[in-house]
Amino acid sequence: MAARRPPGWGRLIWDRATRVVRHSLQARVVAASMAMSTFALIGVFGYMSASVSQNLFETRRDEALVEAVRASTAMQQSFDEAVTQNLTSGEVDALQDRALDAVTGLISSRSSTEYAMLRAESQTETLLQMNDVQSQSFDTDLLTPELRSAVAAASDTPYYQSVRLEGSEGSQPGIIVGSTVDVPLAGRYELYLLTSLQATQETLGFMQLTMMAGGLALIALIGAITWFVARMVVGPVQTAADSSARIAAGELDVRIPVRGDDEIAKLGRSFNDMADSISRQINELATLSTVQQRFVSDVSHELRTPLTTIRLAGDVLHDRRQSFDPVTSRTVELLHAQILRFEQLLADLLELSRFDAGAAQLEIEPTNLVRLAEAEISAVEPLAAERGTELRLVAPGGHFEAEVDPRRIRRILQNLLGNAIDHGEGRPVVVTVDSTSDAAAIAVRDHGVGMTEEEAARVFDRFWRADPSRQRRTGGTGLGLSISRDDAALHGGWIDVWSQPGEGTAFRLTLPRAGAHAVASPIELPPADTQAIVLPPAAEEAPAPEAIDALEITLVDPPAASTKEPGR
């Protein structure tokens, strides 16, 4: 493979400039000001240059026309003085020389003017004929047929034409003016004056160069002024941005220095007032949260002793319920169930208080997640049998000793399985275990009533239930998913949920492997069977099987996975 060429200096400079402009408001303001100033100056200077160039050309053209009229008039006057004389050919030539001397005298003040006197092409044979004469630097090839035709057809009006003169120093602009002269006995001749506009071109070039230099200096000055003004405006804004970032990072005592009474000072005072208000509210909320956490923790601990006494008394009554009358026996059963639920609620509150106080600790043990999932499925077999729910375990991965807290992972699975059985409408519940080189995951998928997007967004809130009126068989407290989320976060992992009304719900627990950083889960959400599965009609209450043995647990465990983890 051919080696890539490193970028050139031009590309590096361009990339750096674009990066500065993209990240700096001050640089963008200066760049925009200089760009707009450049376009404006180009337009103004372009118009001025064109106007001056046109004016210089018209002035020089008018001068050339005036010279041509004066020269043709002087030459015509010289020839007219000899009209009454009987001129010979030699005398006509001598008169021509005197006339040309007069023309030369008129244009001698301008070294850039050349002349030529040519017999008109349309002139018929005359008694006498003068020779065509021209100055040394006059090139008759510059005379176009159109110009000669126009000059020959005119009598008193001179005609001009712009030309390009080729010389040793390069090409130069010029103008040719033509007029006619009537020579006695010799007929009509054409007088052409060639004037170089090189001096005018040099004047225009100097003016354009001066305008360009002045424009560049003006653009640089505008850039410097804009930079200074932008610095005055952007500086306080940058200070406010830095202060906001520091406040967002937790430095609540950061404030902006305020000077003066202008708009920037008002912004600084408003920012400081806002920061004071936010700091005060955060401190109040932190104090309130601390008081609330301490209250929950203290109440939970204080309730443990009387609850233990009530639990012991309830157990005694529950053990002797057969000796009571039916009404009292049923009352004792309800009392015992509510005592157990209250005890579970108290345990959950104590666990939440540990999370809130940051006192929760992991007890890491090497744990096979597949075996742990099998054990938890077996633990909920009686409950699943009551609901007629089939439990399936699919384990393409996870056959290794993961470094986790088995008690917390077991609690998460108990909660997810209980929810799946309660809301699964008696349809199959699938538990999937999979892994990659970076993470392991456990997903619990039911095919029950499902949840809306709004309900799924609140499913991890404390004491929230999608359907509070729905009868539960697991006796949940409304804190299970919240505790499960905290347990997953304590492992450096996460729990996410997918749900659709009528299609069911899938919870996925993702845990990073030891020494790895998990960014993706080995199990996909939404589940692959979202559209493919054919669901049986849901029943209000599935009949319970005759025996617990009727419950089917299907373990899908590839042979290769029993000895080593799949190549991932």
Q: Give the per-residue pLDDT at 439.
A: 93
Whether 345 and 373 map to the same domain: the answer is no
User: Are 312 and 183 within one domain?
Assistant: no
Q: Name the token pair of 240.
A: 């406010």
Question: What value does the mean pLDDT of the chain take?
Answer: 80
Please say which residue of 205, 228, 246 terminates a domain. Answer: 205
pLDDT of residue 568 exceeding 70: no
Rounded distance, CA 358 to CA 361, Å?
A: 8
- 369-379 helix and 406-423 helix, angle to the nearest 10 degrees: 50
Phi, psi of 363, deg, nearest 5: -115, 90
Task: Check residue 375 and give its pLDDT.
Answer: 93
Dihedral sign computed on CA atoms, order 216, 222, 227, 230 = negative
Same domain, 418 and 541: yes
**Do both 344 and 435 map to the same domain?**
no
Range of the domain at 122: 27-205
The CATH number given to whatever domain includes residue 552 is 3.30.565.10
Distances, alpha carbon 13 to alpha carbons 19, 226, 271, in Å: 10, 22, 38
- State which of 315, 334, 354 marks the end of a domain: 354
Q: Average pLDDT in the 1-6 region?
A: 50
357 vs 557 pLDDT, higher one: 357
- Mean pLDDT, rounded, for 295-305: 74
Whether 14 is covered by a domain: the verdict is no
Would the pLDDT of 435 be above 50? yes
Q: Cα–chain-centroid distance for residue 124?
A: 83
pLDDT (average), residues 438-447? 94
Task: Tell me whether residue 545 is in a domain.
Answer: yes
A 10 A CB-CB count for 55 gives: 11
> Among 104, 117, 102, 134, which Cα is nearest to 187's?
117
Total number of domains constituting the chain: 3
Can you tell me the distance from the alpha carbon of 480 to that of 378, in angstroms, rounded to the nearest whole number?
A: 20
pLDDT tens digits, one per residue of 220-244: 998 899 888 888 888 888 888 888 8
* 127, 74: one domain: yes
The amino acid occupying position 199 is A
Whether 381 and 288 map to the same domain: the answer is no
pLDDT digits (tens, 9 = 90+) for 164-213: 888 777 788 888 998 888 877 677 888 888 888 888 888 888 998 998 99
pTM, full prediction? 0.48
- Clarify whether residues 278 and 421 are in a common domain: no
Residues 317, 379, single domain; the answer is: no
pLDDT in tens, 347-391: 777 777 777 777 778 889 999 999 999 999 999 988 888 889 999
Phi/psi at 319 (5° precision): -65, -25
* CATH number of the domain encompassing residue 126: 3.30.450.20
Higher pLDDT, 406 or 477: 406
User: Looking at the structure, do residues 66 and 110 belong to the same domain, yes or no?
Assistant: yes
Same structural domain, 306 and 448:
no
